[in-house]
Structure 1
Amino acid sequence: MSVFDEQLGCSTISFRHLPLRAALRTIADLGFTEIDLGSLPGVCDHVPLDLDARGVRDVADEVRDSGLVVRSINCDVGDLNDPTTDLAASGHLHGLLELAGAVGARAIVLPCGAIDHAPIDNLDSDLDCVAANFDHALIRARRHGVDIWTESLHVFRLCCNSDRAAALSDRLDPDIGIVMDFSHIVASGGSPVEFARRYGRRITHVHIRDATRGTVRLVGKDTIDAPGSINVSVGRGEVDFRAGLAALRAAAFDGHFTLELETRDVTDEQRPDASAAAGRLITELLHNTHQEAS
């Protein structure tokens, strides 16, 4: 039996410094039974970025050997607000969907635009472009029996605050799930409680990591000033996990949670202990919010 809540997993991004096999072994040894796989350029290459049929087999074999369950694959398939990005014909997307089927992942998570707050054209047309690419991805994913989710608020990407996240979500097919990331919401100056209340049952997955709060200053219509840090260990930042988890419970969220600990305040040798401590803390809070709701 897992020492952590059955709805709590650990992303391989938490151990991105290790090869995939070693990261999976570390996560399993800590007592987690579920993972998200990371495939993000410059962040985590546990799923190869040049994914071909052999790569799909190799990753699937390593996951199968680990005994861990895959909840989702967190990936980047290009700047979805760029008119030259076409997910209708993306070979990379095809490989990721093949992998998701091979490892039994429920969904792949796609980004909410480029890692740049400035639109390529203008905000409305950029958001329309992102939504159109999601429509293409959803059509292809349905053929594989895989869901499409997005981290609709990401402090470093096009949809870098609550207003932009809402504008994108309004454009998306209701079948596209929303991933709530505590750290990006707080680092953008937003509120996890308000996010949970706003999206409710549309939230399909939650990323757990801490952050320091960003400050927001409006210049013109929409500018983020001094976003906070998303690279602090759980318990060392300003995220009120208890309130956020309670709000999710009140919103009837019934999905899973993943520790995504891309922390920079611990050494690589300290990461296993820091991950276990975060897992115990979130497990306790999940149990407490469940009892309070009963």
Structure 2
Amino acid sequence: MIRYGTNPIAWSNDDDQSIGAHISLEDCLSDCREIGFDGIEKGHKMPSDGDELKSALDAYGLRFIGGWHSSNILATGSTPEVERAAMDAHIAMSKAAGSDLIIICECSNSVHGNDQVAANDRPILTDDEWDRLMTGINDLAAHASAQGMRFCYHHHVGSCVESADDIDRFMAAAGPDVYLLLDTGHASFGGADPEELARRYIDRVGHIHCKNIRQPVMETVRAEGLSFIEGVRRGAFTVPGDPDGCVDFAPVLRIAAKAGYDGWLVIEAEQDPELRDPRHYQSMGHDALRRMAVEAGLDRDAAA
């Protein structure tokens, strides 16, 4: 079954919490219910207690999809025990809220949340760092899998796993408990082809983020050495169906359909809500994504 979800960063940004600070969680969830989303990912305005989170979402008929967890494997002083303990707290919250999904990204050296550092200046790992990262990732994934959780790694602009080569190296070393979170927008921004990633890894994809890109803004961020957050402010990201976007979702959805992908399609498109009304854009994205999924043969239930 294909389920359609979103992320509250369209209403209130997590990296720069001044963006959308005026929008309440209730307004966000009300919009999601009226648009027709099945669920939503974690945002900073949501309760951190899993039971409270489930109750808050239940009131709007929404499921909790899952939440971001930052690993710090490459940080000085990090140990497997410390990393597992931090993830266990996230797992407990997720299970109580009704999710079996972890969205994970190595953030010990990421620059995507730093407004003072260019997105171009993201970390490039040495061979030793790659070995250390993948040993830690495989350990965490096995630990999560033993608790019934699906461990999905989020390649991300500004992080140590951004480019096509990074993703290939990551997946080559990833163990059987590691799934890829395929993000169409972060792939495009990082210079990877979402269709090629889908073709290569669809059998190992555990979650899909349908993020669109405004190419002129992306090119400005790269050419002028702007931060990831500044790119967000300028509107680098948008939703499926926006004519300003350059991502071709159809091939990815067709590949997913052929492989029998069963899970979430999530619109993750952070924008400044003062400039781009989230209800309007998320409605546009929801309607376009459902239509494309049906046309691709991925959402057979809706087609029927």
Following superposition, the deviation at residue 87 of structure 1 comes to 4.8
* Residue aligned with 2:238, SS: coil
Q: 2:149 aligns with which of 128, 146, 149?
A: 146
For structure 2, the 5+ residue unaligned runs are 13-19, 112-121
Corresponding position of 1:180: 182
Whole-angstrom CA distance in 2 between matches of 1:259 and 1:291: 16
Q: Which residue of 2 aligns with 1:238?
A: 246
Verify: 1:93 aligned to 2:105, yes or no: no
Q: Give, as a single letter, the amino acid of the residue that structure 2 aligns with 1:8.
A: Y
Post-superposition offset of 1:292: 11
Shift in Å, 1:63: 2.8
- Provide the C-alpha distance between the structure 2 equivalents of 1:46 and 1:92, rounded to a whole number of angstroms: 20
Please report how far the alpha carbon of residue 62 of structure 1 lies from its aligned counterpart in structure 2 after TM superposition: 1.8
In 1, the alpha carbon distance for the partners of 2:299 and 2:41 equals 28
* Worse-superposed segment, 106-115 or 56-65: 56-65
**Is residue 104 of structure 2 the alignment partner of residue 115 of structure 1?**
no
Q: Could you tell me how far 1:115 is from its partner in structure 2?
A: 1.3
- In the alignment, does 2:291 pair up with 1:288? no
What SS does structure 2 have at the residue aligned with 1:144? coil
The residue matched to 1:76 in structure 2 has which SS? strand
**Deviation sequence 1:171-205 (CA, Å, 0-9, x none):** 22122110010101111222111010110210111
Q: Label 1:204 to 1:85 Cα distance change in 2 as closer, same or farther (>3 A).
A: same
Mapped to 1, the partners of 2:298 and 2:52 lie a distance apart of 42
Partner-residue secondary structure (3-state), 2:134: helix
Q: Is the 8 A contact 2:110 2:123 kept in 1?
A: no
Distance 1:247 1:145, change over 3 A: closer
Contact 2:293 2:299 in 1 (8 A): no
Q: Does the CA contact (< 8 Å) of 2:35 and 2:286 recur in 1?
A: no
Task: Determine if contact 1:186/1:212 at 8 Å carries over to the other structure.
Answer: no
**Amino acid in structure 1 at the alignment position of 2:75:** D
Q: CA deviation at 1:209?
A: 1.3
Mapped contact 1:10–1:35 kept (Cα < 8 A): yes
Which 10-residue stretch deviates more, 137-146 or 204-213?
137-146
Q: Which 5+ residue runs of structure 1 have no aligned equivalent?
A: 39-44, 216-222
1:167 is matched with 169
Give 1:201's aligned amino acid.
Answer: D
Q: Which residue of 1 aligns with 2:133?
A: 130
Structure with larger RCO (C-alpha < 8 A, sep 6+)? 2
**Per-residue CA shift, 1:202-231, capped at 9, x if unaligned?**
01111011114567xxxxxxx999799573
Give me the whole-angstrom Cα distance separating, in 2, the residues matched to 1:88 and 1:134: 13
Q: d(CA) in 2 for partners of 1:163 and 1:203? A: 17
1:254 matched residue in structure 2: 262
Using the size of structure 1 for normalisation, the TM-score is: 0.78
Q: 1:92 to 1:65 in 2, by over 3 A?
A: farther
Q: Aligned in 2, Cα 1:95/1:61: closer, same or farther, shift over 3 Å?
A: farther
Identity across aligned pairs (percent)? 17
- Report if the CA contact (8 A) 1:211-1:237 is conserved: yes
Deviation, structure 1 residue 289 = 0.8
RMSD over equivalenced CA pairs, Å: 3.1
Q: 1:176 to 1:212 in 2, by over 3 A?
A: same
Shift of the 47–93 alpha-carbon distance from structure 1 to 2, 3 Å rule, reads farther
